[in-house]
Amino acid sequence: MGLWGTTTADDDKPKFLPVDSNAAGSTGAREHLIAVKGGWGLSPGLAASGNDNTDATPEVLVCVRNIAEAMGNASVISIDWTDATVGDAGLFDITITFDEAVDVTSAAWSNNQTVTNKAYILLARLGITDMVSDSTIAAQYFSGSGTNQLVFRGRVTTNAAAGYIGFSSAIGIVFDGTATMDEEDGRSALGIRQESGTAASPTLGDRIIMNGTAGAVATVNGALSGSATLVVDTVTGTLAVGQVVTVQDTSTAAITDADGNSGLSTDNSLTITAVASQTSVTLSEAITVANNVILLAMTNGGEEVNAESIDFQVAGPEFVAAGSAVDVTGIARTGEELGGSILLEVGTPDSDDGEDAILLDASAADTDIESKLDLEDFTSGLALYTQAGSDSGSALVLTGITVAAA
C-alpha cells in the first residue's frame, strides 16, 4: 500500500500523521491536510501549522503532482461539534472540514436568525416528544476563512421543552446574496463542473462557464514568444480593455505563459489591459502563441456558473470513486471512525485492559465466525443518528448535542 494518494480518504493522506485530531502533536492530524499546488500541505492558521496567519504559504509535507486539480472543487470531507447540552437560546459551533483551504465572504455573524448576505447552515430544533421541528436555527459563518476548517455558530431558538438539533430541509451550506466561497486560486468553490470523462471534458472535469455574446473574434497576425503585445487581423466585433481572451478551439491549448503552462488558453485569466488600435492590444501578461490562432475576446463570457449552496450529499472524491455517494448522515465526525467494536470491560478475564473486542461465536462453516460486534448508534462515531421521540416519530439528530428547556 502506498504511503499517500490523491483522494480525501484517510488512507491516501500521509500516514505519518494521526487520523484523530485529539492525538495530533505539533505536526497536526490528517484532518489538517489540504490539497495545494505542490501536493499535500498543512493548512495555515491552525495551531498545528505553528502560526495564526491564515494567509501564510502552506507547508508542503508531501509532493504530489496536480493533486489540487485532481480534487476538483473544494469538497466537504467531515463535520464536527462539541458534545454538550446547549442552554435554551444558547450558542453552539459546527466545524466543517474541506479537502483544501477556502476563502469565505460573508456578512458579520450576528446573534440572531438573520441570514442576509451570509453563509449559513440551516438546522432545526426538534421536539423531544414527537421529533418534529419546533423552529429553525441559522448557524451562520463565524470564522476560519483561509483555512480548510470553517466554523458556523448557531443560536438556539427558545422553547419551553427540551429537544435535539437536526438538519432542516437543506442539508448543506447556503450562500445568501453576496456571500460566496473561493478556492486559494481565486476561483469560486461553488463553480459547477462537468463530470469527468464526459464529452469536451478532460480527465479531471472542467468547470462550466458562460458563453459570451458581447466581444470580438480575432486571428493572431504573427507568432508571439514571451510578449504581451498582441497583433491581430480579421477582427469581428470590437476589442476593448477588460475583455477576457481565450482560444476559440478549446481542444487545442494554443496559448502558454512564461512558465510554459497552457491553462490561460481557457481559464479566463488573460485579459486586455490596453488597446492601441483594433489590430494591436496589450495583454495582462506575456504569452507565447502561434500565428493564425483564432482568439475570442469577451466582456461577459468566461464567467463560471455557480451554485447557491454546497450540498453535504457528496463528501469528497473518495466516495465517488467507490461508486456511491455518501451524505452527512452516513459519515463519521472529524477524527472519528465509522462503526467501532464492542470491547470487553477493563478488568474482566482476557480483556487486555479493555482493548479486546467481543467476537461472534458461530459454527466453523459460518462466514461470520469470530466477526466483531459493531456499534451502529450514537456511540459509534457517526455524525448523526436516528432518535425516537418519547411519544412518536423519529429523526436524524446531531450526535452528542441536546437542547435544554426554557
Per-residue pLDDT of 220-273, as tens digits, reads 999 999 999 999 998 988 999 988 898 888 777 789 998 888 888 877 889 999
Number of domains in the chain: 3
**In sequence order, which residues have a C-beta less than 8 Å from that of residue 76 and are 6 or more positions away?**
96, 97, 98, 173, 310, 312, 315, 316, 328
Which of these three, 265, 298, 331, is where a domain ends? Answer: 298
Query: Above pLDDT 90, what percent of the chain?
Result: 29
User: What are residue 48's phi and psi, to 5 degrees?
Assistant: -65, -25
Do 239 and 262 have their domain in common?
Answer: yes
Do 346 and 259 have their domain in common?
Answer: no
Do 126 and 190 have their domain in common?
Answer: yes
Q: Check which CATH number belongs to the domain holding 292 and give it.
A: 2.40.30
Cβ atoms within 10 Å, residue 406: 11
Do 333 and 359 have their domain in common?
Answer: no
Type and span of the H or E element at 232: strand 224-237
**In sequence order, which residues have a C-beta less than 8 Å from that of residue 69 and are 6 or more positions away?**
204
Expressed as residue numbers, the domain containing 366 is 341-374
**In sequence order, which residues have a C-beta less than 8 Å from that of residue 259 and are 6 or more positions away?**
none
Is it the case that residue 123 has pLDDT exceeding 50?
A: yes
Do 330 and 346 have their domain in common?
Answer: no
10 Å CB burial of residue 45 (0-12, 13-18, 19+) is buried
Cell 464536527 locates to: 80
Nearest to 163 by CA among 328, 391, 385, 401: 401
Nearest to 43 by CA among 144, 145, 143, 148: 148
**In sequence order, which residues have a C-beta less than 8 Å from that of residue 2 and are 6 or more positions away?**
none
Dig out the grid coordinates for 147 from the structure. 483555512
**67: three-class secondary structure by DSSP:** helix
Do 194 and 328 have their domain in common?
Answer: yes
Rounded to whole angstroms, the Cα distance separating 36 from 67 reads 7
Listed ranges 1-5, 130-134, 171-175; the one with the highest mean pLDDT:
130-134
Q: Is the alpha carbon torsion for 71, 73, 74, 77 positive or negative?
A: negative
Do 281 and 389 have their domain in common?
Answer: no
pLDDT band at 302 (very low <50, low <70, confident <90, very high): low
Do 151 and 29 have their domain in common?
Answer: yes
pLDDT band at 342 (very low <50, low <70, confident <90, very high): low
Do 73 and 181 have their domain in common?
Answer: yes
Instruction: Report the predicted TM-score, pTM, of the whole model to 2 decimal places.
Output: 0.62
Do 256 and 279 have their domain in common?
Answer: yes
Is it the case that residue 382 has pLDDT exceeding 80?
A: no
Angle at 110 between CA 150 and CA 161, to 5 degrees: 95
How do strand 133-143 and strand 84-86 relate by DSSP bridges?
unpaired
- Asked if residue 182 lies in contact with residue 136, where contact means CB atoms within 8 angstroms, the answer is no
Do 146 and 271 have their domain in common?
Answer: no
Do 177 and 199 have their domain in common?
Answer: yes
pLDDT band at 142 (very low <50, low <70, confident <90, very high): very high
